[in-house]
Amino acid sequence: MGKQKRIRKLLIVGCSKSKVWNRKKVAKYIPAKDAYTSSLFLLSKRYAEKFYSDRWFILSAKYGLIAPDKKISNYDITFVNGKGVISETKLRNQSRALLRNIDEAILLAGKDYFDRLKSAAPNHLKIHIPLESKGLFDRIRWLKVRTS
C-alpha cells in the first residue's frame, strides 16, 4: 500500500444546536452538512466549501469528527452538558486516524470545541482559531465578508 499524501491544512467546523429536524420533516438520517441550521454553521459551511472543498470536517459533540457527507440522526448533546458526549478515547482515536497526515487545522468553533480537539489531536497538529476573540455577531460578519 502506498504512503498516504500529506495535506498541509484543513478546516474543522463546529456543529450547532439548531438542526433541520427541529424545523421540518426530513429523513431520520441525513448528511451532516445538511443537518445543522444555525446562521453561524451555514456561513461556516459556505466558507468551508469555498476555500477548503473536500478538506473539511464537522466536530460534533455526539459523533466526533465527521465528514460533511456522513449521515447522522438528530441529537441534543453539547460538549458543555456532557451527557452522551463522544468519549475522549473515541475522539482521540478518530482525530489521530483522520488528522495524522495534516499539518494545520483551522477551527471555526468555540472554546469548548477547541479544548476537546486539542486534547484529542495528534501532538504535531497546529490548531488555529481565527474567530477565537470574536463574539457571535463579529464571527458572522467575518464569515460573510469572506464568503460574499
Query: For the chain, what is the mean pLDDT?
Result: 92
Which pLDDT tens digit goes with each residue over 90-115?
A: 999 999 999 999 999 999 998 889 99
Predicted pLDDT of residue 6: 65
pLDDT at 1 over 50: no
Alpha-carbon distance values, 46 to 56, 125, 133 (Å): 11, 24, 21
How many angstroms separate the CA atoms of 8 and 104, rounded? 6
Kindly report the pTM of this predicted structure: 0.91
* 132 C-beta neighbours (distance < 10 Å), count: 12
Predicted pLDDT of residue 79: 85
